[in-house]
Every structure is written in C-alpha cells, then in structure tokens.
C-alpha cells in the first residue's frame, strides 16, 4: 500500500510530461513554400461562424498557395489580447475588431496602413463616411464591413391598442413626438419605452447625432474640447423626462443590458425598447409564440435619422510579412455577395453599397428593410478619434449621465460636469 | 435549555441562508442550462424549467470543441497542481523551519509578488515565453500557471509546516531516524492536508484561468475551456445564454469532483495527524 502510494505521484508526473510533450508545436508548414495567414475572427453566433468558416474554406480551395487559418477569437478582452500579441510580435495577420477599438492600435503603429493596398473596387464600394470610422490621421487602418443602427423594437399589439402613428424611415417620429407617444402608451404599471442604458455614453452620443449634437469640437489647432450645447441636450433630456417627469420609462432598466429588457417587452410591460439591430436574432429565438413585433426607426431630430456607429472591422497587422496577400483575402471576404452572407449571419448591415442592394436585406421579415433604409444615415461615432475618450467616458460621462437619467442631478449640473471635468481629462491627452 | 435550542435553530437557519446565497449562482446556472430559449425570455422566470431540454447541451457540443478544451484544461491544471506542489513543499519547509535572512527575504518577495496585477506581467511574460519558444504550447501555459500559483502555495504551505511541532521531528531524530526518514515518515503525513489543499488551490486556479490562456495559445486545438466558453459571448456582453449555461455547468463539474476527492483527503489527513500527534 505504502509503495503504491509512493509510486503514484511519480507516475502522474511522468504521464503529464508525456502528454504535454505531445502538445508542443510540431513545426509549421512554411517550409512547403506556401503562405499561411492567420485570421482571427470574432464571429460568435452560430450562423456567422458558419458563414465565416465557409468563406475561409472557399478561399483555401481556390488559393492553395495562400492558406488562411481560421482562429476564433473572443470579444471578451480582445483589446488586451491583441495588444499583448502586437507587443510580442505574434499578432494574427488578419484581425477582426471594431472601429472604436482601433484608434489606440493605429496610433501605436501596430496596424498596416491599407491606403495603398486596398483594391479600387473595395474602396469605392464602401461610402466615404464609413471609411472615416477607420481613418486615423492620414492612414486607413481597417476595412469597416458590418454595422448596426440603434432601432426601436416594438410590440405590435401595444402600438395598435394605443392607436399611435407607426413611424417609418421616410416619416419617423421626432424626439418630441416620441415622448408624447411613450406617455400615451404608459399607465397601469406599463411603460411606453424601456431604456437599457448599461452603457449610457455611447447610446446617448450616437443618438444625439440625429439632433445635430456633436459634443466634441475640434479646434483649428487640432485640440478637442467638450461643449454641451442645445443640440446635445435633446436626447438626454428626452430620456430624463420620460423616466423622471412622465414616468413613461422605468428607472429600473437604466442599468440593464439590452437582453435584460426583452422579457418585459414580451410581456407587454414595455411597448418599445431601443436596441441594436442585431438583437432581432434574440427576439426571434426567445419571443413567446404569437408575439408580434416590428422594427421602427429611432426618432429623428434636426439632422434627420443620422446616428453614430462603430462598425466591425478587418485590419492587417503591420508586422505581417504577407500584407498584400492578407488584403487579397479581405477583398475576397468582402465581395458584395460574401458581405451579405456575413451580414445575414450576424443580423447586421453590410457597409458595402452593392451588398446593401441585395434583396435579402430589403424584405419586411424581421425588420430587415427598415434597418437597411437607415444605412445611409450612419456616421462615424462622434468620440471615436478623440484621445482620452475612454477615461472621459468612464470617469466623467458615465456617472454624470447615470445620475442625470435617474433624476439625481439636473441638466445644468450634467453639462457642467461633462464640460468642466471632461475638458480637464481631455487636456491631459492633448499636451 | 429552550434558549439554547432556539439559538441552535437560529444558527442553522443562518447557515442555510448562507449556503443558499452561495449556491444561488450555481443553481441558476443549472436551471438555465435546461431551459429552452423561449423560457429564457420569459417575464416570469421559474427555477424549475417548464419544458426541460437537453438542446442547450447538444448545441454547446455541436458549436464548440468542449471535450477537447476540457482535456487541455485538465492536463494543464493537473500538471500545474503537481509541479506547484513539488516545488512548493520543500521550499515552504525550508522557509518555515530555517528562519534565516534569506528565508525572510523570500517570504517578503512572495508577498510583494502577490501585489502585481497580471496585466503588468503579461507582456514581459509573453516575450519571455516567446524567447523560450513556449508560446502556443501547453507546457508554456503550465509554466505560467505554476509561477502564478507558487507564491500563494508557498505562503500557504509554510503555514502548515509551522503548525507541525518541531518537537515531533526532534523526537524522531532522538529515536534514530535520519533527516530524510523524519521528513517522509513524520512530517509528510502531517502535511498531507496542507499539500492537498495547496494542490486544490493550484488546480482550481489553473482550471478557471482565462486571460493567460487567451493570450498565450494561438492554435484552436490547444485552447482551454475558459477560452472556449467565451465563444458563446458576443460584443457588449450579449450571450447565447442557453448553450453558455450548459457548457459552464459542465465546466464546473471537474472542479467539484476534484474538490470532493481532495476534501476527503484533507479531513482524513487531519484526523490521522491528530491520532499520531
């Protein structure tokens, strides 16, 4: 017994060593003269993973000399993971990310400037306003390929019951009308709208573009300052008044994520919920049988239906020895028909003009047509290229907006904190 | 008498409430794992699924290589636990029994080492492993886990060693036992609960670790379970909740099993120590 016990740890160690030795890298296939590109994709939904893998398979079948290795990455901690890989010189060749994450990498010199590498077809297919989301300084550091507007997902029965006018992209609600409608839809423990504002800053800033809000103003010297002007106040004031004055929006969802509000939407407690366009997939999966819903455009302001977005992007690592081949792969992946497959898989909108013409994106089913009609109004998120934005967001804007929306502070104090405290933060990044 | 009974009942009630509080996330996870998507969106969530299903488990296994990832996790966690214990046990013994300046300096370094956030360490560590050609390899990951677990393991084991009276070793020496004989026949059995607890700590730390594995492993075939679990989560925390809960529930099982096995060992070792002592 004692002998067996004494031998056991030794055997365990030996087995582990042998197993681990079998897991070390056995060497690559570069010696065979063919190029291998590592493509880290962040696609995660079943359909989008399938679409991406299919496209990689098609590429590999047609290009035996340039093999693409599909690696599934994770949205969780992607920034830190990429930063470490860049620093260590081990970054993937082709990188999937979102445009609001690219600024640091572009400024840090980790990404290839694609300006002279991109084929004319791809450059002209994506509108200039969308290219702005990945343009930092004079360089283009990614190809924006999927984006989603914020829309209102509404329970059809509640709208019919109240007899309100149904807005369309051609004739949307104004912010004032939206407030009146939500007041009319409220009462008896039910609400006209539920705002899931776990991330209040990006939602507020992106929607504020519709009212002409800019908040960040770049001077002639290139320095950015915060100014909370009348146009910037339209959206925050509407949300605040719905929650605090009209009680047409519950305060309880202000700290929630979008998914948390869906049960209330299905139960009819909330008539509408402002959500990203891709949430439709969850609604299709989770809605109780017979629940009728529709996609409505977000309210319009002085600048119509304009919204800020941070599209998903594909970039090439600057350290990649095969940048041209990587861009060839991007060109293939983002052909109009392929972009449509990726967009349908992710329940988002493609950025390419030709892809947006695809009939599959113009069907009324699941609100595709409404979302597609908004594509022309999408702009680069206002804060995207502002250095110091993450700190301003976390330390100043998020708590200030949360307090304002819950009624703890007024509009004047909100403005003072966004401007005074905010400009102090931004100034540190612009010395 | 009555007061004592009431107090005891109150104690049990408080204990039960605490246990429920601790068990709540796990019970909710189990409940979610067996719910169909429509119940996940229900405005009146129930503990017991109305229409229990295994579809989430099927989907989780179809979409992600959970078994392979679990195998990688098990291998790295076991290796990390074994190596950490092999290194920490003699080191802790020396630190506890020989109170030299060097031992004190090592103890101080161990405490300081705990204070570094891993984000600070990850880039130098990555470069170090790259030079050793251990990026994208499970042995490299094991090395990181061992280094990561060692400070706390050392500190923990040194406490156990101090709890073993030095007089016992002296008595064995008086009876004619040599140094090694004393260590293996007297000290080691009394340290068994501590070694088991340390191994458990190192195993669970490595089993649950996400960020190092995410950064260091590039090949999909080598990814560990925590990394694969995040593939069910999308941008802004949106998740495929059913399959995620199913996979996460399965991922907690090995930890529970190892804990159950090692816990018996901890209790057994303590009793054995008491009898012998």
pLDDT at B190 over 50: yes
Whether A226 has a pLDDT exceeding 70, the answer reads yes
Residue A285 within any structural domain of the chain: yes
Tell me: do A245 and A268 sit in the same domain: yes
Instruction: Give yes or no for a contact between B152 and B114, defined as CB atoms under 8 angstroms apart.
Output: yes
Residue A373 lies in a domain: no
Q: How many domains does chain A have?
A: 2
Residues A77 and A167 both lie in one domain: no
Q: Is residue B106 located within the same domain as residue B237?
A: yes
Q: Tokens for B242?
A: 């059913």
Whether residue B58 lies inside any domain: the answer is no
Do B8 and B69 lie in a common domain? Answer: no
Q: Residue B226 falls within a domain, yes or no? A: yes
Same domain for A115 and A172, yes or no, is: no
Q: Largest Cα–Cα distance of chain B, in whole Å?
A: 74
Query: Of the residues B28, B53, B78, which one is the last residue of a structural domain?
Result: B53
Please report, for residues A121, A168, B65, the alpha-carbon distance to residue A117 in angstroms, rounded to integers and kept in the order given. Answer: 12, 40, 36
pLDDT, tens digit (0-9, with 9 covering 90-100), for A133-179: 999 888 999 999 999 999 999 999 999 999 999 999 999 999 999 99
Instruction: Record the tokens describing residue B213, joined without a space.
Output: 């594995």
- DSSP 3-state of A297: strand
Residue B51, pLDDT score:
87
- Whether A105 and A254 map to the same domain: the answer is no
CATH number, position B118: 1.10.3720.10
Q: Which one of A1, A44, A267 would you mutate to disrupt binding with B, by most B Cβ within 10 Å of its Cβ?
A: A44
Q: Any alpha helices (H) in B34-137, and if so which ranges?
A: 37-40, 55-63, 66-97, 101-114, 118-131
Q: Give the pLDDT band (50/70/90) at residue A19.
A: low
* Phi, psi (degrees; rounded to nearest 5) at A384: -55, -45
Tell me which residues of chain B, numbers 119 to 138, contact chain A at a CB-CB cutoff of 8 Å: 119, 122-123, 126-127, 130, 133, 135-138
Is the same domain home to B44 and B69? no
Q: Is residue A163 part of a domain?
A: yes
What kind and span of H or E run contains B236?
A: none
Burial state string for A5-24 with b = 16 or more CB within 10 A and e = fewer than 16: eeeeeeeeeeebeebbeebe
In this prediction the pTM is 0.84
CA distance A262 to A196: 10
How far is residue A165's CA from residue B109's CA, in Å, rounded to a whole number?
A: 70
Q: How many domains does chain B have?
A: 2
User: What mean pLDDT comes out for the span B171-194?
Assistant: 86
Give the rounded percent of residues in chain A with a pLDDT score beyond 90. 78
Strand partners for A69: A38
In a shared domain, residues B186 and B49: no
Residues B26, B159 within the same domain: no
- Together in a domain, A129 and A49: yes
pLDDT of residue A3: 45
Q: Determine the pLDDT at residue B267.
A: 61
Asked if B266 and B145 sit in the same domain, the reply is: yes
Q: What is the separation, in whole angstroms, between the first and last Cα of chain A?
A: 72
Residue B42 lies in a domain: yes
Decide if B59 is inside a domain: no
* H-run or E-run covering A41: strand A35-41
Are B154 and B44 contained in the same domain?
no
pLDDT at residue A206 is higher than 50: yes
Contact (CB<8Å) A72/B231 = yes
Q: How many Cα atoms are found within 13 Å in the side-chain-facing hemisphere of B111?
A: 6
Compare CB distances from A20 to B75, B127, B240 and report the shortest one's residue.
Answer: B75
Asked if residue A226 is part of any domain, the answer here is yes
Q: How far is B34 from chain A (nearest CA, A)?
A: 14
User: A21-30, A44-53, B45-54, B84-93: which range is least confident on average?
Assistant: A21-30
A172 and A303 fall within a common domain: yes
Asked if A176 contacts A240 with a C-beta cutoff of 8 angstroms, the reply is: no
A412 lies in which domain range? 150-308+383-429
pLDDT, tens digit (0-9, with 9 covering 90-100), for B106-163? 778 777 777 777 777 788 888 889 889 898 899 999 999 998 888 889 888 888 888 8
B218 contacts A90? CB cut-off 8 A: yes
Section A95-114 average pLDDT: 92
Binned at pLDDT 50, 70 and 90, residue A5 comes out as very low
Domain hosting B227: range is 64-276
Following CA atoms A358, A362, A368, A374 in sequence, which dihedral angle do they give, to the nearest 10 degrees?
90
Say whether both B82 and B131 belong to one domain: yes
In whole angstroms, how large is the CA radius of gyration of chain A? 24
CA distance A357 to A225: 39
Token pair, residue A106, equals: 């572009």
> Other C-beta atoms within 10 Å of B271: how many?
11
CA distance B18 to chain A (A): 27
Count of CB atoms situated within 10 Å of the CB of A394: 12
B46 and B143 part of one domain: no
Q: Does B212 lie in the same domain as B84?
A: yes
CATH number of the domain that A325 lies in? 3.40.190.10
Same domain, A39 and A76: yes
Kindly state whether residues A274 and A197 are assigned to the same domain.
yes
Q: Give the mean pLDDT of chain A.
A: 91
B61 touches chain A (CB under 8 A): no
Which pLDDT score is estimated for A32?
A: 57
Pair (A85, A107) in one structural domain: yes
Question: What's the rounded Cα separation, in Å, for the pair A74 and A40?
Answer: 9
CA–CA distance, B162 with A14 (Å, rounded to integer): 31
Torsion of CA A271, A179, B235, B25, to 10 degrees: -50
Q: Does B186 touch chain A (CB under 8 A)?
A: no
User: Is A87 close to B126, i.e. CB distance below 8 A?
Assistant: yes
The answer to whether residues A283 and A423 belong to one domain is yes
Assigned domain for B269 exists: yes
What are φ and ψ of residue A257, in 5° steps? -85, 165
Averaged over A113-127, what is the pLDDT? 96
Say if residues B146 and B85 touch (Cβ distance below 8 Å). Answer: no
Q: What is the pLDDT of residues A8-18, one digit of tens each?
A: 555 555 555 55
CA distances from A10 to A3, A5, A15, A307, B83 (A): 11, 10, 9, 64, 11
B220 touches chain A (CB under 8 A): yes
Query: B27 with B100, same domain?
Result: no
* Residues A197 and A254: beta-carbon distance below 8 Å: yes
- ipTM of the complex, rounded to two decimals: 0.78
In a domain, residue B120? The reply is yes
* Residue-averaged pLDDT of chain B: 86
Which of B30, B53, B76 is at the close of a domain? B53
**A80-100 pLDDT per residue, tens:** 889 989 988 889 999 999 998
Residue among A19, A75, A262 whose CB faces B235 most closely? A75
pLDDT tens across A307-362, in order? 999 999 999 999 999 999 999 999 999 999 999 999 999 999 999 999 999 999 99
Beta strands A349-350 and A143-147 are: antiparallel
Instruction: Kindly give the pairing relationship between strand A191-193 and strand A270-276.
Output: parallel
* Residue B266 reports pLDDT greater than 80: no
User: Of the candidates A24, A88, A90, which has its C-beta nearest B139's C-beta?
Assistant: A24
Would you call B78 an interface residue with chain A, using a CB distance cutoff of 8 Å? yes
- A328 & A406 share domain: no
**Same structural domain, B25 and B88:** no
Percent of chain B with pLDDT strictly greater than 90:
34
Task: Report how far residue A327's alpha carbon sits from residue A268's, in angstroms, rounded to the nearest whole number.
Answer: 48
A164/A93 same-domain check: no
How far B228 CA lies from chain A's nearest CA (Å)? 9
Instruction: Answer whether residue A341 is part of any domain.
Output: yes
């Amino acid at each position: 017994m004692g002998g067996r016990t004494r031998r056991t740890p030794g055997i365990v160690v030996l087995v582990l060593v042998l197993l681990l030795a079998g897991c070390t890298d056995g060497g690559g296939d570069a010696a065979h003269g063919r190029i291998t590109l590592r493509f880290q994709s962040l696609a995660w939904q079943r359909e989008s993973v399938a679409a991406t893998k299919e496209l990689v398979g098609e590429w590999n079948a047609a290009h035996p000399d340039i093999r693409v290795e599909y690696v599934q990455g994770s949205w969780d901690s992607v920034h830190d993971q990429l930063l470490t890989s860049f620093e260590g010189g081990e970054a993937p060749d082709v990188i999937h990310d979102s445009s609001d994450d690219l600024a640091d990498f572009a400024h840090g010199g980790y990404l290839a400037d694609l300006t002279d590498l991109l084929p004319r077809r791809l450059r002209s297919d994506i509108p200039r306003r969308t290219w702005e989301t990945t343009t930092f300084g004079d360089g283009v550091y990614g190809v924006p390929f999927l984006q989603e507007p914020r829309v209102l997902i509404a329970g059809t029965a509640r709208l019919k019951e109240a007899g309100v006018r149904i807005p369309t992209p051609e004739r949307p609600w104004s912010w004032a009308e939206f407030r009146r409608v939500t007041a009319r839809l409220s009462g008896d423990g039910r609400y006209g709208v539920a705002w899931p504002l776990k991330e209040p800053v990006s939602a507020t800033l992106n929607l504020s573009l519709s009212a002409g809000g800019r908040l960040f103003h770049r001077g002639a010297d290139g320095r950015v300052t915060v100014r909370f002007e009348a146009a910037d106040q339209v959206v925050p004031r509407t949300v605040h008044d719905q929650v605090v004055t009209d009680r047409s929006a519950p305060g309880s969802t202000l700290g929630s994520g979008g998914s948390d509000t869906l049960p209330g939407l299905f139960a009819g407690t909330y008539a509408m919920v402002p959500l990203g366009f891709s949430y439709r997939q969850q609604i299709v999966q989770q809605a109780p049988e017979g629940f009728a819903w529709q996609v409505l455009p977000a309210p319009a302001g002085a600048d119509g239906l304009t919204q800020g977005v941070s599209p998903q992007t594909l970039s090439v690592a600057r350290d990649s020895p095969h940048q041209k081949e990587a861009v060839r792969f991007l060109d293939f992946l983002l052909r109009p028909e392929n972009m449509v497959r990726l967009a349908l898989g992710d329940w988002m909108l493609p950025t390419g003009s030709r892809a947006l013409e695809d009939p599959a994106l113009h069907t009324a089913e699941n609100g595709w047509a409404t979302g597609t009609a908004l594509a022309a109004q999408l702009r680069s998120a206002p804060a995207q290229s502002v250095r110091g934005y993450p700190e301003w967001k976390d330390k100043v804007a998020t708590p200030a907006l949360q307090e304002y929306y819950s009624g703890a502070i007024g509009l004047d104090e909100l403005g003072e904190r966004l401007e005074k405290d905010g400009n102090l933060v931004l100034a540190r990044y612009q010395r | 008498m009555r007061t004592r009974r009431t107090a005891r009942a109150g104690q049990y009630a408080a204990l039960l409430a605490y246990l429920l509080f601790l068990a709540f996330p796990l019970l909710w996870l189990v409940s979610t794992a067996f719910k169909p998507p429509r119940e996940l969106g229900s405005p009146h969530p129930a503990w017991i699924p109305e229409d229990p299903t295994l579809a989430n488990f099927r989907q989780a296994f179809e979409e992600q290589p959970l078994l392979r990832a679990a195998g990688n996790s098990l291998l790295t966690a076991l290796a990390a636990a074994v190596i950490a214990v092999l290194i920490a046990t003699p080191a802790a013994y020396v630190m506890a029994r020989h109170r030299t300046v060097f031992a004190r300096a090592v103890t101080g370094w161990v405490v300081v080492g705990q204070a570094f956030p891993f984000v600070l360490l990850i880039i130098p560590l990555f470069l170090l492993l790259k030079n050793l050609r251990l990026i994208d390899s499970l042995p490299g990951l094991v090395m990181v886990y061992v280094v990561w677990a060692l400070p706390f393991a050392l500190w923990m084991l040194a406490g156990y060693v101090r709890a073993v009276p030095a007089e016992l070793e002296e008595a064995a020496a008086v009876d004619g036992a040599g140094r090694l004989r004393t260590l293996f026949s007297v000290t080691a059995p009394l340290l068994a609960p501590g070694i088991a607890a340390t191994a458990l700590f190192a195993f669970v730390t490595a089993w649950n670790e996400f960020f190092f594995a995410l950064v260091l492993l590039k090949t999909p075939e080598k990814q560990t379970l925590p990394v694969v679990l995040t593939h069910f989560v999308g941008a802004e925390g949106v998740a495929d909740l059913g399959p995620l809960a199913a996979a996460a529930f399965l991922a907690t099982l090995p930890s529970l099993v190892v804990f159950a096995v090692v816990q018996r060992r901890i209790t057994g070792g303590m009793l054995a120590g008491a009898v012998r002592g």
